[in-house]
Amino acid sequence: MPVRLSDIASEAGVSLMTVSNVMNGKRSRVSEATAHRVLEIADRLGYVPNLPARSLAASKSHIIAALTPVGEDHSLLMSPHTVEVIGGLEKHLRHEGYHVLLRGIEKEADITGAIKGWALDGAILLEFADSQIDRIQVSGVPLVAIDSYSENPRTISVRTDDRRGGWLAGTCLTEAGHSQLLFAGPPFEGMGVMGQRWEGFLSACIASGIDPSQIAVVETLISYEDGQALGRRLRKDHPDVTAVFATADSLAIGILAGLNEAGVRVPEDISVIGFDNIEMSALVTPGLTTVAQDIQAKGAEAARLVLQEVEKGQGTPPPISLEVSLVTRASVASPRTSQRT
């Protein structure tokens, strides 16, 4: 029923190969005239290439997988951030004629299995921890890891410039005149995303003459609820603190809510700065000042890099860090406002 290359070939009175060459844009191997005629016929007949056949013959599938870890017998649980990354990469790949296979990964063998089974041209790893990426042994196809600081040489890293983001947050707070600071984020080891944000924040503080030992650190998950709990007890636990850097907006917004419940005013009593610039950040009261990143661009960049490797393939390129910027809203003010109280 479906139209094949051979159908077009006989209709056009040329060989199957000529049609194949036209379809693959190898214009140098076909005369302008026949190319034109073949194209016209293909269009008229409604030709759609059979991708499995193409994959089999060429051992190249035009499929890039989006892989995210998933607990055994669990559903894919993508964060809003990941969803946006996928949106960005899907668009790029679609426009380049590639396809996205979405797959939850229960164990490392799933990765190699998917790659070999589908003759995947590449894969993009989302939400994997650096330690997991370190362990990946796969080779033969380009692998891009999003938000990774892993040094796995087989893996291309695409991430946000987290260090600069931390630095922006620190600068924003110290320039407003704060010196009693609190850093709130998930526990981390080494120089992953959070480590980078901390380093950047720290260096901004030091640059403005703050003694690092003065900086309070609270380890907390980044959920709204954890932030809320932290906000409620903040004044009690840290009476001197006048400004908080929360390493995620979800956390920051929770803190805002908790502080509000505790009767602490933002920004008059305490300033809060977040990271991510999620949709909600513009909507809460007061609006959350935060470090913003272009998440879709991160997805597109990841896609661009896999394709570059697929098509040119000159060995793992260096990590890429995307720019961040400061979004100023109402949650940060000078601490003097509070001393007036």
Partner DNA sequence: TTGAAAGCGCTAACAA
Partner DNA sequence: TTGTTAGCGCTTTCAA
Return residues touching DNA (CB under 7 A).
Answer: 2, 4-6, 14-18, 20-21, 23-24, 28-31, 33-35, 49-50, 53-54, 56-60
Q: Which is nearer to DNA, 17 or 207 (CB)?
A: 17
* Contact track, a copy of itself, 217-256, x by CB under 8 A: -------xx--x----------------------------
Binders of a copy of itself among 105-134, rule CB under 8 A? 112-113, 116-119
Q: Which does 17 bind (CB under 5 to 8 A by kind): DNA, a copy of itself, none?
A: DNA
Strands 289-293 and 324-327: antiparallel
Q: Which does 271 bind (CB under 5 to 8 A by kind): a copy of itself, DNA, none?
A: none
Helices (H) and strands (E) in the chain, counts: 13, 12
Judged by CB under 8 A, does residue 196 bind a copy of itself?
A: no
Q: Is 82 helix (H, G, I), strand (E, B) or coil?
A: helix
Distance CA(29)–CA(22), nearest Å, equals: 8
Please report how close the Cβ of residue 16 comes to DNA at its closest, in angstroms. Answer: 5
Check if the beta carbon of residue 158 is closer than 8 Å to that of residue 319: yes
Q: Which is nearer to DNA, 97 or 212 (CB)?
A: 97
Check if the beta carbon of residue 93 is closer than 8 Å to that of residue 303: yes
Distance CA(166)–CA(41), nearest Å, equals: 58
Q: Which does 5 bind (CB under 5 to 8 A by kind): DNA, a copy of itself, none?
A: DNA
Q: Which is nearer to DNA, 11 or 199 (CB)?
A: 11
Q: Is 330 helix (H, G, I), strand (E, B) or coil?
A: coil
Total residues at the site for a copy of itself (CB under 8 A)? Answer: 51
Q: Which does 285 bind (CB under 5 to 8 A by kind): a copy of itself, DNA, none?
A: a copy of itself
Check if the beta carbon of residue 158 is closer than 8 Å to that of residue 322: yes
Q: Which is nearer to a copy of itself, 84 or 130 (CB)?
A: 84
- Token pair 């935060």 in the structure block, residue: 290
DSSP 46: T
Residue 240, amino acid:
D
Binders of a copy of itself among 86-105, rule CB under 8 A? 86-88, 90-91, 94-95, 99-104
Distance CA(119)–CA(113), nearest Å, equals: 10
> Contact with a copy of itself (CB under 8 A): which of 11, 34, 50, 262?
50
Judged by CB under 8 A, does residue 17 bind a copy of itself?
A: no
Check if the beta carbon of residue 139 is closer than 8 Å to that of residue 169: no
Check if the beta carbon of residue 198 is closer than 8 Å to that of residue 162: no
* Half-sphere exposure in the Cβ direction for 78 (13 Å, CA): 17
Q: Which is nearer to a copy of itself, 207 or 283 (CB)?
A: 283
Please report how close the Cβ of residue 254 comes to a copy of itself at its closest, in angstroms. Answer: 8
Please report how close the Cβ of residue 97 comes to DNA at its closest, in angstroms. Answer: 11
